Chains A and B, each alone.
Chain A
């Protein structure tokens, strides 16, 4: 019995620690974000500030101001895959859009990325190695 309790405690502690270490979705209720888009030649094609509120996702904010290309739907297990914005288009197999939030690599897609007031969302076209 003692061993079972110890094992259960270890398993639960490990799970909670791992879940806390994983980046959460979080985000702010409302604010302004800066969006920067770089094409395959590293030329900046978008540099704009957009407002958001509690109901918005990065997808809805971008979709309001730009022509987006996505694969799948929000109801998909991992949300939509972001393939292009205006004239910047990728196919995800040879090129893809690399997303950064304040210079840090994003861990989710555009449906699930948290929106932080004052954060800079950078989209860069990259080639698959």
Chain B
């Protein structure tokens, strides 16, 4: 992977992490889903998976939840965004379709955690987890739907233009360095 892409990926992870920490005081209200959908539209599938891996490790290290019972479901759940975007949604940029995906994802994200909590607690009944998590899933689904609906297109356009600018700056710097 080119160094320039790695730098852009690192900057993207930083934005993702900082906005999540900044919005931590409102449970499950964040731009993470919208940003990951934008990243899925900009970066390749492989780049997205690297970005998600770094983000999940960083988030769990910072939050003190560095355990397979949180790492694994988070990795699986967040990886669903680029996977569905690239293979099921066929790289659409229609914000209404993507917002509907964000709505469904809010619920799926919570469901992915259920089997891991069942293993962790040793209580093999799934419905209490589902019931307890439902308010948070509703908030996350609504937040995902609204943030994608309103911010996807402007963020996507902004990121594309900034990426082009950065690529140009890198190219100019590289040419000058060669001379």
Contacts and interface: CB of A to CB of B under 8 A. Distances in A.
Contacts of A7: 96, 99, 145, 149
Nearest to A24: B135
Contacts of B134: 22
A15 B121 contact: no
Interface residues of A, number: 24
B98 to A, nearest CB: 12
19 contacts: A3-B96, A4-B149, A4-B150, A7-B99, A8-B149, A11-B103, A11-B145, A11-B146, A12-B146, A14-B142, A15-B138, A15-B142, A22-B135, A78-B128, A81-B123, A92-B122, A93-B123, A93-B124, A128-B125
Interface of A: 3-4, 7-8, 11-12, 14-15, 18-19, 22, 71-72, 76-78, 81, 92-93, 96, 107-109, 128
Interface of B: 96, 99, 103, 117, 121-125, 128-129, 131-132, 134-135, 138-139, 141-142, 145-146, 149-150
